[in-house]
């Protein structure tokens, strides 16, 4: 999330609203207005401070370090869920082993938003580019300017892709057999998981947890893996319905029906 004109307008609009409310209370509520004003300042001041620490301060820091930060690299040691979601995109905390431009090494943590369709974008062991505050080395942000971050992330994906080639070939053969002889059914997607690698460009290798809904049998859960076209990702999100084929003799063998 970046500090754009809309965000600044929202901040100043909110402050102006609070000021108007305080002035109105002081001019109409008499002696009780002082206590009401104190309550308003306490409640809204606390809310503003919380939002500032969680959202505005990181954005301001990121904007400053884009201009003044020193380049460095960091290895992700842990990826932790913060429990915060913004526009359906989860925020995660990255625990990093940082290497500065002068070779110094130290630990640091940062919070970043990830896309809801790529929640596993950052993984332990991945190397990312960072920008370091020259005045406080603990203040860092990811460098997403297209430099080392993109290169290391792509290299990480390529390594995963190479290790998955044999698995993908086996899965393709098994899926082709199910599509040839299997029975068609509707299925409801319960969970989407990106498996950390893209194939043939930006097409994610993914796992779907589904509830298969045969027309003549009770529904049953299943998992399917496959490469999903980047353009079709919206169709494979939780709550969406897709067509699958399953092995009548072994219903645990299910594949997506692309026909």
pLDDT in tens, 72-114: 888 888 889 888 887 788 888 999 988 876 667 888 998 888 8
Do 206 and 184 fall within a single domain? Answer: yes
Kindly state whether residues 85 and 115 are assigned to the same domain: yes
Query: What total number of domains does the chain contain?
Result: 3
Q: Hey, how many other C-beta atoms are within 10 angstroms of the C-beta on 157? A: 18
Q: Is 251 helix (H, G, I), strand (E, B) or coil?
A: coil
Check whether residue 85 and residue 50 sit in a common domain.
no
* Residue in this structure with the two tokens 């004003």, named with its chain if needed: 37
Which pTM was predicted? 0.44
Spatial strand order of the sheet with 127-133 comes to 105-113, 89-99, 70-86, 127-133, 136-142
Q: Which two tokens stand for residue 183?
A: 């029975």
- Between 44 and 128, where is the model more confident? 128
> What's the pLDDT at 33?
62
- Establish if 151 belongs to a structural domain: no
Cβ within 8 Å of residue 101, ≥6 positions away: 70, 71, 72, 132
pLDDT for 148: 41
Which residues are bridge partners to 223 per DSSP?
209
- Sequence-ordered list of residues with C-beta below 8 angstroms from that of 147, at least 6 positions apart, any chain: 71, 129
| Domain residue limits at 109 | 69-145
Q: Please give the structure tokens belonging to residue 42.
A: 């306490």
Same domain, 239 and 171: yes
Question: CB 196: neighbour CB atoms within 10 A?
Answer: 19
Q: What is the pLDDT of residues 181-210, one digit of tens each?
A: 999 999 999 988 876 666 776 677 788 999
- 115 and 194: one domain? no
27 SS3 class: helix
Q: Check whether 175 has a pLDDT greater than 60.
A: yes
Q: Which residues contact 193 (CB under 8 A, 6 or more apart)?
A: 119, 120, 206, 207, 208, 209
Indicate if 106 and 191 belong to the same structural domain. no
Q: Is residue 90 part of a domain?
A: yes
The last residue of one of the domains, among 23, 51, 66, is 66
Rounded CA-CA distance 94/123 in Å is 9
């Amino acid at each position: 999330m970046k500090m754009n004109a809309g965000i600044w307008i929202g901040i100043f609009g909110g402050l102006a609203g609070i000021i108007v409310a305080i002035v109105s209370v002081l001019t109409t509520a008499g002696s009780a207005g002082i206590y009401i004003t104190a309550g308003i300042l306490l409640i809204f001041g606390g809310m503003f401070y919380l939002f500032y620490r969680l959202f505005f301060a990181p954005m301001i820091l990121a904007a400053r370090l884009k201009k003044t930060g020193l380049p460095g690299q960091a290895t992700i040691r842990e990826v932790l869920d913060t429990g915060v979601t913004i526009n359906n995109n989860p925020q995660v905390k990255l625990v990093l082993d940082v290497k500065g431009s002068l070779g110094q090494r130290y630990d640091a943590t940062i919070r970043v938003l990830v896309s809801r369709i790529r929640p596993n974008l950052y993984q332990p062991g991945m190397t990312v580019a960072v920008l370091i505050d020259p005045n406080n080395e603990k203040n860092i942000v990811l460098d997403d300017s297209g430099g080392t971050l993109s290169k290391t992330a792509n290299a990480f994906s390529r390594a995963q892709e190479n290790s998955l080639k044999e698995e993908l070939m086996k899965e393709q053969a098994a899926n082709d057999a199910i599509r040839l002889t299997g029975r068609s059914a509707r299925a409801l997607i319960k969970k989407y998981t990106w498996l950390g690698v893209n194939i043939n460009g930006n097409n994610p290798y993914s796992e779907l947890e589904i509830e298969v809904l045969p027309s003549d049998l009770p529904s049953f859960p299943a998992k399917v893996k496959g490469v999903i076209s980047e353009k079709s990702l919206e169709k494979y999100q939780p709550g969406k319905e897709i067509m699958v084929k399953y092995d009548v003799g072994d219903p645990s063998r299910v594949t997506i029906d692309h026909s």
